[in-house]
Amino acid sequence: MDKDTDTAGQKRKTTWKKDPAAVKENILTIATEEFAAHGLSGANINEIARKTATSKRMIYYYFGDKEGLYQHVLERVYSSLRNEEQMLNVADLAPIPALRRLTEATFDSHVNNPQFIRLVMIENIHNAEYVKKSKSIPKLNKAIIDKLTDVCERGKASGVLRVDADPLELHWMTSSASFYNVSNMATFSTSFGDSLYTEQGQKRLRQRVVDMVLGTVVIGYQPDTPSSNCA
């Protein structure tokens, strides 16, 4: 073993002992990039170890195996996205502004988390095998439905939302458009040009998603003019 390799090894051992939480976070950050880029089967543990401040042995020590690491990565990206939504306080807002804010937040969180999109696409290839194994992801997903349920109940009670307004359907509508906007950006922009992926184009799409959701359940909803929201 040469001197540089030995020095690097000593630095890694010191890091493990001083701050194991930081080591785990470093592993998860690099692993997220690798799994998002190459999928579960394509990602290489040796490559992940090479890019981290640790070793392959320590990756297995913390996460068990490659599938265990992937499971933790998946739960981490779900947690990051759902925490953004969870932090939104809409309980004090009237039903329509609350629904607007939740819709905008879901659109924005998808745009800002492309790795989440890629990992969900990969997980769908695996028929949600690892989501099914997770104890935390169902709880994380439930939080946004609870918020929408509260908004729907308050909106129906006050007479501003249709009686058939369904929180799960609203989340499906919002998520489907928000997800497609990111997941199909490469193919869509190649086929039709990138006008929808400019800053202005994304603002307009964001407003269109809001109009779609609110127009479905808000009684007498009139979309705002593009000029007032997308300038």
Contacts of 198 (CB under 8 A, 6+ apart): none
CA 10 to chain centre: 36
Sign (positive/negative) of CA torsion 105, 108, 112, 113? positive
Tell me, what's the pLDDT at 114?
Answer: 93
Question: What is the domain count for the chain?
Answer: 2
Tell me, what's the pLDDT at 60?
Answer: 93
Tell me, what's the pLDDT at 55?
Answer: 87
Tell me, what's the pLDDT at 80?
Answer: 85
Tell me, what's the pLDDT at 1?
Answer: 47
Closest CA to 39 of 74, 9, 88: 74
Count of positions (residues) in the chain? 231
* Same domain, yes or no: 29 and 73: no
Sign (positive/negative) of CA torsion 173, 179, 181, 187? negative
Measured CA distances, 176 to 8, 39, 106, 201, 217 (Å): 46, 22, 10, 18, 17
* Same domain, yes or no: 56 and 104: no
DSSP result, 209-227: HHHHHHHHHBTT--PPPHH
pTM of the model: 0.84
Low-confidence ranges of the chain (pLDDT < 70): 1-18, 225-231
Tell me, what's the pLDDT at 155?
Answer: 97
Give the phi and the psi of residue 219 in degrees, each rounded to 5: -65, 125
* Same domain, yes or no: 16 and 106: no
* 126-159: burial string, b at 16+ Cβ within 10 Å, e else: eeeebbeebeebeebeeebeebbbebbebbbeee
* Same domain, yes or no: 162 and 223: yes
* Same domain, yes or no: 3 and 92: no
pLDDT in tens, 4-61: 444 444 455 555 555 788 889 999 999 999 999 999 999 999 999 999 878 899 999 9
Tell me, what's the pLDDT at 95?
Answer: 97
CA–CA gap between residue 71 and residue 130 (Å, rounded): 6
* Same domain, yes or no: 60 and 72: no
